[in-house]
Structure 1
């Protein structure tokens, strides 16, 4: 490699799509290259730089930066830079220094490799052409990013992912109810954005207890490698910014929120997308906010894309919900009073949407719709819908368009997606089982005194340090805090009958017990969970891992894994309250609530660990309760006041805000409790009706539009059933040196061979490889089997090496055919569209690298339409490299002429390719821009920045498409031989 000098032009061997690069600076150890066309800068080690110096020879045509062209006659060097000498389009002599070459030019490696006698294997050329074909087809496929993940094809998840991933720098709140798959939705959005190039780096911030779960889920479901950062890992990385150490960074909220220095480093590292799980924990008030909220607010101001995840957006009240929306768009959500006022009008809009089905018969329905629309287009649709003489097809189309318009233009539907179980359907039944137990004397004596002596509660709160009503609801915690009392000498689990009840259930095989089945036990306090586990071990010999907040992440994962193991795992897992957030235990159907949580949303989170999409059995909820105790009264409030155990309803936060304080005071008084239950149930009924009629109904209708979801699923299934995939993969594996063995039942085992090329994902030399399948259902049923698809990292790596590298871009073969005399020459040329553009534009959805094949005989006749690629390939024979070089050398001048002619033939196809790409781009973006501009007049959730970005994107895409050029990607020389020779 020659010495690097500023101004020299080089190209990247591995990233040809970057375009022509310019040396900015260099030293003996490194060189920095600017690729202006794609707005990228790279720094390379000079000893290992995958770079090729651009040097054109006599006869080559080059383009100047200001657009004029010249044909090179000669060149000279001045201070390390090449100056080309030649003639312009008018035949006038001219000079062009390499610094003035157009950035969009490409160095034609195939041509130079061929003319210097460098040829690859014929099957490599064949694979290259097929790779270009499949790459073009899959890059613009509507299922891109959704076909590869290991997921069930669930409509609402795919709809949300598609809707959000289409947006420029999406900023949304994913607020599906517990168990509906928010993590999967976030993973799908991230996966598609990464494949499309719209996101290059992402920061994921989750509660401490969920870091390893996210790590495993992203790898297992989406094949995404993640860098998990904590303090020890950050320190191990040295003095640099640890957030620069990976493409996808996963950090715990506890660590990041408590460390201002690390927050500044996260801000300094450039991310395109921020994902925050369990976002309802972020504390905000009008008069101030917590450290976590401040951290996320600062990051959200710097990072374009933002996904907030929470199953309980209103757990802390409407102000808390407003705070989440404020993070998404502080300009739109700056006035909480205005926000509350807007929500009051949602019932009218929901009623109008419901009324669409009553037209044209109902005049009342027309009036309900007319009351919430004010634009001519919607009025015209309504007129069509109400016209009794319109055809059924016309009314159906008008109804669909008007429904979409109403959903788009009202409420928080663009920034918040919330599906409910009622709307999604298909969830199992929940069954409540209660067991009434006698209060042990150690608990009873304290409660009886509390009932007699009003002042004793204050004394007990001081003595135990517990909060009210914890001291009443959790008698075991009270017992532990009063351990200095001589009557409390035994461990609490020795005196608590719930332990013996649990042991009896674990051994009961009558059908009402748990014998032989997995059981999840959740208790509020860590100490209670540890005591339950100790009691089960000591009194019954059961090994029950404990999952609580003070365990390390590895210990928590070990406990969860021991519980999940079907063959050798434990029967029982005991969790503290932390176990009711984020973790998925849907393989289990028995939930024991050892005690009651104080907040309705915590109760729902507990049940939601089992009651999830994919649960195959009814959820059996078991509640042991002490007769006439505060815990029993709290359970009655949940059950009788809001029917909390049968299904989630989303109004628990409002009910707790209204009655929480009064309930705490009534836990020792049955009469007072009865009144509160009655009032709670009345408010529950009213709130449920209000929510279902208003915003919740709008959100449900907007969070999954069935027709569009069905189209996405059909697109994914189309790729799932693509018969070309296994044929292509088999060819590629053979060429890349991977052994493939069919092991039956739709499974194959992939293993590195001794000849395997280095660096293939999941296939390290000397290791056993992995088992894979093309069947989605089999991959879902077995975590040890990888789903092979066009998006699998191994397939994408092989395709990427071919598309971006030189493998197979030259070949020479012999062709035997009885009707063609021997000694004739044909040139099979494959040109490819080249259009350098920033990745964020996702140009490939409209114009992926597109192959143009040209087949010429030695006379210049175009045989492309007469002899297909497959037809030609079937009759070819390989030639050794020594003979190939001699044949090419003897036909040098002839080949140069055919290469030039082939370029002219291919250019005839370029205009239609460019026109088609421009048409596809305009059809999508013009329609989207018109829709958003119209929507912005009615719905302030459409950000001005989003509109400006879309307009800028459209203009940039149009400019990029206009600069599309063809470059020679591969060439195969074919020599005919006599059939008897």
Structure 2
């Protein structure tokens, strides 16, 4: 009874979140406490009440229920209650009875929690210190944001992601050729921007056929959960803006571009980044902007960051390419005519770079370089190269600097990144297999009449409703369109020899057969794909899922998944032309082109579904054609005119624009076809030579700077091979209540235990958890296995909770040592830098939360340098909480003195921490600012707002770092014990 009196203030040991409690009543058996802030009442046994009396000492700041604060100087006791004496905010001497303390006072800080007897487990304290240490280390790693995703370390992807994600509000066109990983590049950029705080909200717009593929890719590779938004989901949110329901929103272009109301809602949101896939479909001309282009244009005007993705930036011609660049920077790309003029200048720059590699070279080489260089720094470097007395290292350095300057200062390389297969290398061989078949009588009858009667083509176009030359190339479509013909009495697939040929190949177990392999079949239109699948089922008893534009997104994904399943999946997948865009089927090496597309870019899109980076087999391209048919002539044009099957050349669109009409007219005339092929070949070779000499040459040189890519890859490997990660994770899992079971082969299974703390990613209570590995290669080989890294959501969640919360910020332990007398007290204090700054500054790359450890004995002697954290922790013993609270109560005055002394010791470390951070910041940003200012004099692709933002960022960082302070983050009291304890 004597321990409790009405009006006293106590806190709950097990429910500290209830706040400050007031004793309402007490008797010899029970005590009742009101926790006013949470409006909760608790009744405890008087003898075993889990309560700690709140008592503040000199220097503590406390708050009255009426709102004013008091800095405690002294206290007195009156009828069992404490009255605090001190100065208020105005410096006036006042008294504050404990009954009038604010109920909402929280004891989150280490000092408050310790002095009020709240102590955590000793291993929690260890985990907190190690978390600060590892967080500080990882946040400064140059690979932060790029090391966690489940990707191969491919140089050009790493370079682009690192280069773009460093920029303020990046606005770029990712235009790598098909299969080089534009989606991965965009995901890496997004992942790093999110992790570093430079972006918080992003909108991703993709074709309807790719929405689920993007959804899965962002989750599987980057562990990013996005909100997939469509009209049904939007209606479920009633009158509220559906785009406000998630930080990362993925939506179909087809849906958004057709809905002005939803466009207005999307535009009303605050986005940091907009990603648009397959951007070549955005229709624009000087006289007209299509609905998709107009929508993206309005969004791009408001959103700071913009990533446009397209494998064929010039598919619709140079005008279309200009339109994409115009979205990125309308001020820079405002005149199509001026843009065309700039294109002519790129040849000179490419020639200058080639001349640079030959230096000291000829007088002509020097002239080429001097013609594109007018800066004093460039001319000085050129003199160094020309000076025979310059050493080899000096010349190599000068050559590299000049090369970088030329690439930086000329062309569109700053806003457009385009890698080609020949530049990247490592791609498999493409093998073309052509099978000539005799056309069936139903097709031969029409083809024969076309050869005899010149006017029949016009009649056929009217009769079928098909376009020219599609009516000639897609004979099964023509047959279906002539359904009124009395001779057309059976489905086309019953007599078309291509169906029989395909069934035989699928059953053939020989080297030329498909029996043991997956096979992707692509046909021009939906009806052909459906008919072919029906023919395989009826004639051959083979199940072939169909993938076409008439299916829902879920049905398409189901078909693709059935094909991808290695054990029980279908051997063959039949696609319409929609299967040529975006989908990744690189696990397959056989592509059957049941017919040929008319446009070279569509042909390359088809092949690109299999011929992707990471493909480990030669690509087998199978084309069945009818002898003497227009389809066979189209095949000749592709093979002889532009080597279309051997490799992508990126000039198909221009060639088709030049010869598409002539080709259509020549499909029934062998002599005309030969002439078209000859002219096509001449233009093809000319355009390849121009590409190698001009802008594309510059783009390839600029799209991957291997020295930088190697540095990023090395930093990633450093984190991959970090031996501290498994040790840290083992300790964290134990403390957070997660069971870990080794499955063998470097794989473990993580599962919630009954004691697990709530809200851990992927570990909901009552569920099975997930399998995981630290190995990048194992994770790449197993889609069902998570890759654990410092960037994995589970690690970041646990570390975030520790750093931002109170877990482990107080502890008490016993130390038994023969040379130390019993009853001595030491304090291990962990201070942490505190530097409030907007997340967008990404301050952590220069000054992440930095721990300063101070170890004091009870006389105030600093033992930090003599006793390490690890050495001390190994010799400590845990103590029960009740005993810990009693020990703290008995040493309150001594502990206050040690806390004050420790703060003075820690403050001595602060100036060097601040200075080091400022040096790192100034070295990086001053160098980058100087580079961009010089670059802006030559390359208008450097936006004024980019320079302004960088200057503002440097100023804000300088101010923030200068204002850094230390605050006590955690404290452990250590009490020495004798041998008998």
Q: Normalization by structure 2: what TM-score?
A: 0.91
> Is residue 108–residue 967 contact of structure 1 (8 Å, CA) maintained in 2?
no
Q: Report the equivalent of 2:370.
A: 370
- Asked whether 1:575 is paired with 2:575, we answer yes
The C-alpha deviation readout for 1:526-579, integer Å capped at 9, x for no partner, is 001101111111111110110001101111011001111111111110000000
Secondary structure, in 3 states, of the residue corresponding to 1:152?
coil
Give, in angstroms, the shift of residue 238 of structure 1. 2.8
Equivalence map 1:42-441=2 (5 Å)? 59-60=59-60, 86=87, 109-441=109-441
CA contact (8 A) 1:278 1:310 kept: yes
Distance across 1 between alignment mates of 2:362 and 2:512: 53
8 Å Cα contact 1:207-1:252 kept in structure 2: yes
SS in 1 for 2:162: helix
Match of 2:668, SS state, is coil
The 5 Å alignment of 1:744-763 reads 744-763=744-763
Change (3 A) 1:849 1:551: same
Distance 1:142 1:652 in 2: 40
Q: What secondary structure sits across from 1:646 in the alignment?
A: coil
Q: 2-side partners of 1:329 and 1:460: how far apart?
A: 48
1:22: which partner in 2?
Answer: none
TM-align CA RMSD: 2.2
Deviation of 1:357 after TM superposition, in Å, equals 1.9
| Structure 1 contact 73–87 (Cα < 8 Å) conserved | no
Q: 1:960 matched to which residue of 2?
A: 960
Q: What is the Cα deviation at residue 458 of structure 1? A: 2.0
Q: 8 Å contact 2:108–2:806 — kept in the other structure?
A: no
Work out whether residues 107 and 113 of structure 2, in 8 Å CA contact, stay in contact via their aligned partners in 1: no
User: Matched residues in 1 for 2:822 and 2:74: separation?
Assistant: 38
SS where residue 488 of structure 1 aligns? Answer: coil
CA drift of 1:459 comes to 2.0
8 A Cα contact 1:442 1:479, kept in partner: yes
Counterpart in the other structure of 1:39: none
CA distance in 1, matches of 2:92, 2:915: 35
Q: Tell me the SS of whatever aligns to 2:423.
A: helix
Once the 2 structures are TM-superposed, how far is the Cα of residue 467 of structure 1 from its aligned partner? 1.3
1:419-818 equivalences under 5 Å are: 419-818=419-818
Structure 2: distance between partners of 1:784 and 1:897 = 55
Query: Aligned partners of 2:56 and 2:122: how far apart in 1?
Result: 28
Distance in 2, Cα, partners of 1:540 & 1:14: 72
For each residue in 1:119-139, what CA deviation from the matched residue of structure 2 results, as whole angstroms up to 9, or x when unmatched? 000000000000000011111
SS of the equivalent of 1:916 reads helix
Match of 2:863 in 1: 863
Task: Measure how far apart 1:980 and its partner are.
Answer: 3.6
Cα deviation for residue 359 of structure 1 reads: 1.1
Tell me, what secondary structure is at the counterpart of 2:521? Answer: strand
Preserved contact between residue 747 and residue 772 of structure 2 (Cα < 8 Å): yes
Give, in angstroms, the shift of residue 448 of structure 1.
Answer: 2.2
CA distance, structure 2, for counterparts of residue 488 and residue 943 of structure 1: 64
Give the gaps of 5 or more residues in structure 1.
Answer: 1-12, 16-44, 49-54, 63-68, 76-82, 96-105
- Displacement of 1:450 in angstroms is 2.1
Q: TM-score, normalised by structure 1?
A: 0.91
Structure 1, residues 240-286: CA drift from partner, whole Å, max 9, x if none? 11111111100011111111111111111111100000000000011
Cα distance per residue 1:282-325 (max 9 Å; x no partner): 00011011111111111111111000000000001011111100
Determine if contact 1:72/1:87 at 8 Å carries over to the other structure: no
After TM superposition, give the deviation of residue 974 of structure 1 in Å.
Answer: 0.4
Whole-angstrom CA distance in 2 between matches of 1:343 and 1:846: 40
Q: Secondary structure at the match of 2:909?
A: helix
For 1:842 and 1:630, locate their aligned partners in 2 and report how far apart those are by CA, in whole Å.
60
Q: By how many angstroms is 1:979 displaced?
A: 2.6
Task: Note the C-alpha offset of 1:509.
Answer: 2.2
DSSP 3-state at the match of 1:345: helix
Deviation readout 1:664-717 (Å, 9 max, x if unpaired): 111111110100100000000010010011111110110000111000000000
Return the alpha-carbon distance in structure 1 between the equivalents of residues 16 and 257 of structure 2. 39
- Measure the CA separation in 1 of the matches of 2:907 and 2:510: 79
Aligned-pair distance for 1:237? 2.5
In structure 1, C-alpha distance between the alignment counterparts of 2:173 and 2:135, rounded to whole Å: 33
Residue 8 of structure 1 aligns with which residue?
none
User: 1:236: how far off?
Assistant: 1.6
CA distance in 1, matches of 2:179, 2:16: 43
The alpha carbon displacement at 1:14 in A equals 14
Name the SS for the 1:555 alignment partner.
helix
Give ranges in structure 2 of 5+ residues lacking alignment.
Answer: 1-14, 18-36, 41-54, 63-68, 76-83, 95-105
Greater alpha carbon shift after TM alignment, 231-240 vs 407-416: 231-240
Contact 1:205 1:275 in 2 (8 A): yes
Q: 1:94 to 1:199 in 2, by over 3 A?
A: farther
DSSP-derived class of the 1:852 partner: strand
Residue 37 (structure 1) aligns with:
none
Is the partner of 2:487 in helix, strand or coil?
helix
Query: For the structure 1 residues 389 and 434, does the alpha-carbon distance in structure 2 shift closer, same or farther, using more than 3 Å as the test?
Result: same
Distance 1:624 1:361 in 2: 53
| Contact 2:523–2:593 (CA under 8 A) maintained in structure 1 | yes
How far is 1:460 from its partner?
1.8
Cα 1:246–1:56, aligned 2, differ >3 Å: closer, same or farther? farther
| Pairwise CA distance, 1:364 | 2.7
Partner of 1:34: none
Look up the match of 2:5: none
- Aligned to 2:517, the other structure's residue is in SS state coil
Instruction: Give how far 1:340 is off.
Output: 0.8
Residue 86 (structure 1) shift: 3.3
In structure 1, C-alpha distance between the alignment counterparts of 2:781 and 2:864, rounded to whole Å: 47
Q: In structure 2, what is the equivalent of residue 883 of structure 1?
A: 883
The structural deviation recorded for 1:58 is 5.2
1-structure distance, mates of 2:120, 2:921: 37
Q: Give the distance between the partners of 1:855 and 1:624, measured in 2 at CA.
A: 80
How much has 1:338 moved relative to structure 2? 0.6
Q: How far 1:495 sits from its partner (Å)?
A: 2.2
The match for 2:843 is: 843
Number of equivalent positions: 910
Q: Structure 1 residues 57, 260: closer, same or farther in 2, change over 3 A?
A: farther
Residues 17-28 of structure 1 mapped to structure 2, 5 A cutoff:
none
Q: Which deviations, in whole Å up to 9, do the C-alpha atoms of 1:395-423 show, x marking residues without a partner?
A: 01001110000000010000000000000
What SS does the aligned partner of 1:521 have?
Answer: strand
Of 171-180 and 228-237, deviating more is: 228-237
Secondary structure at the residue paired with 2:908? Answer: helix
* Shift in alpha-carbon separation, 1:216–1:150, aligned structure 2, 3 A: same
How much does 1:57 deviate?
Answer: 7.9
2:355–2:361 contact (8 Å) kept in structure 1: no
Q: CA separation in 1, counterparts of 2:93 and 2:656?
A: 83
Displacement, 1:908? 0.8
Q: Structure 1 pair 141/549, CA: closer, same or farther in 2 (3 Å)?
A: same
CA contact 1:14–1:805 (8 Å) conserved in 2: no
Cα distance change of structure 1 residues 400 and 70 upon mapping to structure 2, 3 Å threshold: farther
1:363 CA drift (Å): 2.8
User: In structure 2, how many angstroms separate the alpha carbons of the residues matched to 1:188 and 1:300?
Assistant: 20
Deviation at 1:729, TM superposition (A): 0.1
